[in-house]
Structure 1
Amino acid sequence: MESQSKIPYVVGSKSPTAVAINSASKAGEWIKSRLGLVKELNTKVSAQDLVTDVDKGAEAMIRKLILTHFPDHEILGEEGVAPGAAASVEALTQASRSDYLWIVDPIDGTTNFVHGFPYFCVSIALAYKGEVIIGVIYDPIRDELFVAEKGKGAYIHGKKSVVSEESSLEDSILAVGFNPDRDYALPVNMKGITALSGEVRSLRAAGSAALHLAYVATGRLSGYYEVGLNVWDVAAGVLLVTESGGKVSDTVGNSYHLGVRNLVATNGKIHDELLESLKVADATGL
């Protein structure tokens, strides 16, 4: 009898996972076609927090594709929420009243997209009663599709995703973020970045929380830390990491839930050491 590990990963054509994959892929290809053709550029919480007509168009496309199949489900999309942490928290509270909640970031890495830096993605998650059960991230530049289903593992183009093996910070490569919230989140992150820079093999800050998490899931990064994130930045990526054998928590070690804004995601082996470093540096944001 063929072993469980060799059974191919198959997604039913009418399943929510298939809808998420289709929505992310179609939106991603359209976004890629608009690279260098932004017509409308605005800012949100700061001059560094950008939004374009392409973000809005991609979210509208994703909403239409999801609601065609699941008209009774709720959708929480970045572009439908007012700027700022308080608005994000309130929007999540309101949207979470529905059993099924789709969480959408049409372009995670908008600043990169605007500047033509080829590191951005579409992130789509589905939560059921507050727990993420599907996570899909699509990188249209590299044509890389990351998919996770609760209890079924995580995959990149059908190949099982597994976290890295580093067991100490000194052997690790970590991703960090330069948060657009200049008043609160960025100063805290800088404390963490300063402390970690002397403890790890190297740091990376490529500008997309979702892709950073996807890279932790696939073993390209040992971990990722950032304060001041929104649920649409991380929901899909968190499931990718946990289904790949990694660990995700807030910055003091509490279990992840949809309201977590200060995040640590690792291969699991360096998690406690990373949390301790952030604690000592007063860089938890909590």
Structure 2
Amino acid sequence: MHPMLNIAIRSARMAGNLIIKNYDFPNARTITQAGKYNFGTNIDRNAECLIIDTIHKSYPHHIIINAESSNSLSIDHDIQWIINPLDCNTNFIKNFPHFSVSIAVRIKDRTEVAVVYDPMRNELFTATRGQGAQLNGYRLRCTMSKDLDNTILATSYPYTARKKAIIYFSILSKLLTKCTDFRCTGVTSLDLAYVAAGRVDGLFEICLKSWKFIGGELLVREAGGLVTDFLGDHNYLKLGNIIAGNPRIVKAILANVRNEIHEVI
């Protein structure tokens, strides 16, 4: 096992255990609001501190990037840990039992290690570049769907970029005529993990922050899938527009977003 993967797993499990211990005690939560649509709690802050402390015990000189410092992804530093201690806070606050802990390690601008942990189901999704993706130790593969017929796609509403809502729903309506159904859970990291596990066939989202999905995108790629932006290129970390799935599904989704590209890039 990659030594950094071992630390990432340890950090994610510790943070997940802390979150679960506080799940059934809403009165113990202190809810804060950072912007109109962004909420936080003392629980995710404590989980973040736990992750940072665990990483720094083994790698005291590595930089750690979170939501507040996500714009630092392009800084000149060899090793970066990108953490999302609670994706998504809104589900946790509402006691909707679907959220995750997400951790990724990038070395010289390439994602090498990724962990997405669902503490409610005790499902640990892991990936190391070039060594495949796993769920609780079992190998993952994306679905083999050849087109959008009978597929289920994951997506999330662009709640932090509501000016793009018309464009988003235009894309959604085009895809609705081709696929079977959508899943909108609010947890992008788990959505990508589900693409890797074949639980959903593909994913598309717009205007995301990179820390929301960087842990999950390696899972998809290591499970035999593709991750692209809306041009079919690899600028999704910068642009925040992301399509994921097996190569044929990605191609099919790209064909349906083509006319909207100029509005979202």
Among candidates 27, 48, 53, match of residue 42 of structure 2? 53
Among candidates 21, 39, 44, match of residue 29 of structure 2? 39
User: Quick one: distance in 1 between partners of 2:190 and 2:45?
Assistant: 20
- Number of the residue aligned with 1:203: 182
Cα gap change, 1:175/1:63 in structure 2, threshold over 3 Å: closer, same or farther? same
Instruction: Kindly indicate whether residue 15 of structure 2 is the aligned counterpart of residue 19 of structure 1.
Output: no
Cα gap change, 1:215/1:182 in structure 2, threshold over 3 Å: closer, same or farther? same
Instruction: Kindly indicate whether residue 118 of structure 2 is the aligned counterpart of residue 139 of structure 1.
Output: yes
Instruction: Kindly indicate whether residue 132 of structure 2 is the aligned counterpart of residue 176 of structure 1.
Output: no
Q: Is the contact between residue 49 and residue 180 of structure 1 (CA under 8 Å) also seen in structure 2?
A: no
Cα gap change, 1:217/1:283 in structure 2, threshold over 3 Å: closer, same or farther? farther
Q: Once superposed, which parts of structure 1, at least 4 consecutive aligned residues long, lie more than 4 Å away?
A: 281-284
- Post-superposition shift, 1:45? 3.6
Deviations 1:230-272 (A, max 9, x none): 1111111000000000000011111256324111111222111
Higher helix share: 2
- Post-superposition shift, 1:44? 2.8
Partner SS for 1:167: coil
- Post-superposition shift, 1:116? 0.6
Cα gap change, 1:41/1:186 in structure 2, threshold over 3 Å: closer, same or farther? farther
- Post-superposition shift, 1:122? 0.1
- Number of the residue aligned with 1:285: 264
Measured on the aligned residues, the alpha-carbon RMSD in Å equals 1.7
- Post-superposition shift, 1:194? 2.2
- Post-superposition shift, 1:280? 3.0
- Post-superposition shift, 1:283? 8.1
- Post-superposition shift, 1:191? 2.4
Normalised TM-score (structure 2): 0.94
Counterpart residue identity of residue 160, structure 2:
D
Partner SS for 2:237: coil
Among candidates 193, 207, 215, match of residue 236 of structure 1? 215
Deviations 1:200-256 (A, max 9, x none): 111110110000000000000111110011111111100000000000001111125
User: Quick one: distance in 2 between partners of 1:52 and 1:169?
Assistant: 39
Cα gap change, 1:118/1:283 in structure 2, threshold over 3 Å: closer, same or farther? farther
Unaligned runs of 5+ in 2: none
User: Quick one: distance in 2 between partners of 1:223 and 1:126?
Assistant: 24
Counterpart residue identity of residue 163, structure 2:
Y
User: Quick one: distance in 1 between partners of 2:79 and 2:164?
Assistant: 30
Counterpart residue identity of residue 29, structure 1:
N
Q: Is the contact between residue 109 and residue 208 of structure 1 (CA under 8 Å) also seen in structure 2?
A: yes
User: Quick one: distance in 2 between partners of 1:128 and 1:69?
Assistant: 16
Identity value in percent: 31
Deviations 1:124-151 (A, max 9, x none): 0000011100000000000000000000
Deviations 1:12-65 (A, max 9, x none): 6xx11100000001100111111143522122342x322111111111110000
Counterpart residue identity of residue 32, structure 2:
N
Counterpart residue identity of residue 67, structure 1:
H
Among candidates 95, 98, 121, match of residue 116 of structure 1? 95
- Post-superposition shift, 1:284? 6.3
- Number of the residue aligned with 1:28: 16
User: Quick one: distance in 1 between partners of 2:236 and 2:116?
Assistant: 19
